[in-house]
Amino acid sequence: TGVQARFIRLGAGEILARVRAEKANPQAGLWLAGAADNFIQGASEGLLAPHKAKGIEAVEPKYTDSKGAWTPISLSPIVFAYSQDYLKNLKAQPPKSWKDFADPVFANAVALAHPAASGTAYVSLATLVQLMGEDPAFALMKQIDKNVVQYTRSGTAPSRMAASNEVALATAFSQDVEAAIQQGYPLSFSFPEEGTGFEVNAAAIVANAPEDQRQGATAFIDWVLTENGQKAMGLTFRGPIVPGFKNPDAKI
């Protein structure tokens, strides 16, 4: 777009809390990325400025907001990320099931993000609830908790810890794993045999943002669903939201 931007990176829950806290005096024009459920919550509180993005007609309606409060930008599935070296040292097999995270062989060898702060963790927890039901899902989480060495605020941090061989297992969105693999880290991935969840990544214009920032945010929203915008999403290994686009370098 040619617009120069500054940004602050926060977990999805933290972004929502900050936009909410700054409602009377917004400090940012664009809320970029994170799961759509956070944007749905923000829209319900009047925190977002509706805008019909150019090209939104090409996106499947189930991935969009009928009022245009937020714009879908990409799709991301949850995968299991694991350190090849750590598993070799443990003489353990790569995870195939969500239940593998509770295996005692991985004691103090699991890192997860916290669902109160991280969209990655929230989608993982929601996936378990949808697969198993609420009570069994939380019972499994309590078992997994015995193996967790750290809960992080950032959803990308656990897979980075696995990539640097600090832990054996983590859950992550596919783009975080692909980025680490591209950088040469001994990280691998697998999909849970029970099925996995995914997020619709979104972006939105912050309501009552300063006019110059609003203009830049609007330009971004109108660019992100174009061919160049979707190619840019692919460069970060996110799956396209517009049918017909695919990153030729993607491994997942």
- As beta bridge partners, residue 188 has 82
- Side-chain-facing half-sphere of 237: CA atoms under 13 Å: 17
Torsion sign over Cα 214, 219, 220, 224: positive
Do 69 and 204 touch, CB atoms closer than 8 A? Answer: yes
| Strand-pair category, 169-173 with 71-83 | antiparallel
Query: Could you tell me the CA-to-CA distances from 18 to 11, 24, 68, 153 in Å, in that order?
Result: 10, 11, 21, 15
For the question of whether the overall pTM of this predicted structure is more than 0.85, the answer is: no
What are the tokens at 177? Answer: 């794993």
pLDDT in tens, 66-91: 999 999 999 989 999 999 999 999 99
Task: Per residue of the chain (252 residues), give pLDDT as tens.
Answer: 788 889 999 888 889 999 999 999 999 999 998 889 899 999 999 999 999 999 999 999 999 999 999 999 999 899 999 999 999 999 999 999 999 999 999 999 999 999 988 888 999 999 999 999 999 999 999 999 999 999 999 889 999 999 999 999 999 999 999 999 999 999 999 999 999 999 899 999 999 999 989 999 999 999 999 999 998 888 888 888 998 766 665 655
Return mean pLDDT, the chain. Answer: 93
